[in-house]
Amino acid sequence: MTSTATTGTSGTPKAAVNLQRGEFANEAFIDFTKPENRKAMEEALAQVRGMFGREYPLTIGGERITTSEKIKSYNPSHPEQVIGVFQKATVEMANTAVEKAHAAFERWKRVPVEERVACLYRAADILRKRRYELDAWLSYEIGKTWPEADADIAELIDFCEYYGREALRLGAPQRLTPFRGEKNYLKYIPLGVGIVIPPWNFAAAIMGGMTVAAIVTGNTVVVKPSSDSPTIAAIFIDILYEAGVPGDVVSFFTGPGSTAGEALVTHPKTRFIAFTGSKEAGLRIAEQATKTQPGQVWIKRTVLEMGGKDAIVVDDEADVDAAVEGVALSAFGYQGQKCSACSRAIVAEKIYDEFLAKLVERVKKMKVGPIEDPANYMGPVINKAAMTSILGYIDHGKKEGRLVAGGKRAEGDGYFIEPTVIADVDRKARIFQEEIFGPVLAVTKAKDFDEALSMANDSEFGLTGAVYSQNAAKIARAEEEFHVGNLYMNRKCTGAMVGAHPFGGFNMSGTDSKSGGQDYLLLFTQAKTVSEKIGGTK
C-alpha cells in the first residue's frame, strides 16, 4: 500500500512515503577515487571540524536535559581534539528514562506498522542526504578511514530499508493451519521497553540497527551509546525525530555503565536489552537480566552480540595469493577492531612458508596514520587504554611466536599501531585464544586439513571464519564442521552485508541474533495466537 498521510506520529507534518519501495538492495558504497567524491568528503571533513566541541543534551521522554558533570568524546587520531561534550546521567535519570519509555509504549504499540515503517524510510532518505557529513563524524570520532566510515553509514541505511520491509511482512496476521470450525491466526506484538547498548566500533550501523529494529516492531527504547562514540548516536536519534518518531519513543542517554547503565538494565519495567560489545560486558548483562526485580512481571529477553577470535583456514589446495589478500584485509581493516576480524591464520604446512612470505610483503605496504589522509589504510585504535592493551599483547606474543611484521606503536600523536604479524604460534598461546581487538594476527601451521579445522574450532568463541581451498570436498566438510555463525569460503571473513549475510555467532560470541536477517525482528516481538469458534456462542 502507499501511505498518503502527511502528519507524523509526533504531530509534525511529514512527507508522504511510498511503502512499496521494491525489492531490498544493498546501498552502494561511495567510490572515493573519483575526484568529485573525494572533494565532497574533504568539504564534509572541514564542515564537521567546525562543529567540534559542541554540547549534546540527554533526551528523556522527549525532554532535553543537561547535567553538571560532563563526558567528553575525543578524536583518536589527534587526542587533544574534543569531538563533543555529553551529559553524565545519574541512576535517578536512568529510572526516569525507563518510566517515560514505559508510558510511551502504551501509545506507540498501537501506531499502525505502516506509519512506523514510514519513519524508517524517511530516516534512510535523510541519511542519504547527509552521508558525507556522517562519514566525516565517524572518521573523526572513532578513527575510521573514509571507506570504512562510508560502509558503516551504508549499512545503517540498509538496516532502515531492510527492517522496514520485514516489519511490513511480519506486521500482517500470520496464516496458520486451518482447523475445522475455527478462525485462527497468529500475530507478532511488541515486547515493551528496551535498552539499546551499542559498541563504538560500528557506532552508526549497530547502534542504529538495533534501535530501528526495536521501534519498528512497536517497542520504545533508551539508547545508551559507548562513551567513545556518542556523537553519531545523538545525531541519528535527532534524524529519527525529524523522520517522525516521537521524542518519548527513543531516548538518548549517556552516563557511567557501572551505575546509570546498570540501573537501565535492572529496572523492573525494562523488558529487553539489545547489546553489542565484549564478552565480559555481555555476560554481566545476561546475569543481571536473569535476576527478577520487585514488581517485574516477565522474564527479560537479551539480544547479545559479543566477541570473536576468528580464524581463516588456508588449505594446501588454496589460491595462495587470494588467501593472503583475504587474510590481510580481514585482519587489519579498521585496525582489527571488528568482532569479525581475522586474528588467527591457520595455514597448511605445505604452503606455510610461501603464504607467510607473501603476507609479510602485503602487510608492509599498509600505511598507518590520521584518517584525514585517504592514503592511510589504517587509522588509530580507539583510545589510549586500547593501545596499551594491544601493545601488551604484542609484547607477550613475541614470547609465544616469531614477530615477522610490525610490533610497535606507529608514528604520530594519535593511537597508531603498526599492523603486526606473529608467526609459529601454538594453539594454546594467549594470542591464539584471547580476543585482542586490534591489529595483531597470529599465524599457526597445521599439518593437514583435519588439524586445521580442529584448531579453528579450538576457541570459546564462534562468530566468523573463512576457508580458502579449491577442493570441493574440503569445503563441504568445513560447512558441516567449522562451528561459527558466519562462515565464508574463498573470501575474507569481514564485511557481512544486510540481507545477504545475516550476522551473529555461537558460544561466547553471543545469542546468534542474526542481525540483517529474516529472523532478527522476531527477537523484538512475542507471538500471540488468536482462535475464534465460527458461529460464536449463544
Residue with cell 559542541: 54
CA-based torsion, 332, 26, 170, 248: positive or negative: positive
Which residues partner with 116 through β-bridges?
Answer: none
Burial of 2 (0-12, 13-18, 19+ CB in 10 A): exposed
Could you say which of 119, 339, 342, 493 is catalytic? 339
**216 φ/ψ angles, rounded to the nearest 5 degrees:** -70, -20
Could you say which of 27, 141, 166, 305 is catalytic? 305
CA 288 to CA 523: how far, in whole Å?
19
CA 296 to CA 98: how far, in whole Å?
13
Can you read off the three cell numbers belonging to residue 391? 601493545
Q: Which DSSP helix (H) or strand (E) runs through 87?
A: strand 78-87
CA 6 to CA 344: how far, in whole Å?
53
Q: What is the DSSP string of 169-237?
A: HHHSPBP----TTEEEEEEEEE--EEEEE--STTTTHHHHHHHHHHHHTT-EEEE---TTSHHHHHHHH
Helix then strand then coil, in percent of the chain rounded to 5, is 40, 20, 40
Q: At what angle do helices 146-171 and 205-216 cross, to 10 degrees?
A: 10
Can you read off the three cell numbers belonging to residue 280? 565480559
CA 423 to CA 358: how far, in whole Å?
13
CA 337 to CA 149: how far, in whole Å?
13
Q: At what angle do helices 472-481 and 449-456 cross, to 10 degrees?
A: 30
Residue 493 catalytic? no
Residue 339 catalytic? yes
Q: Are 211 and 197 in contact (CB under 8 A)?
A: no
Q: Residues with catalytic annotation? A: 305, 339
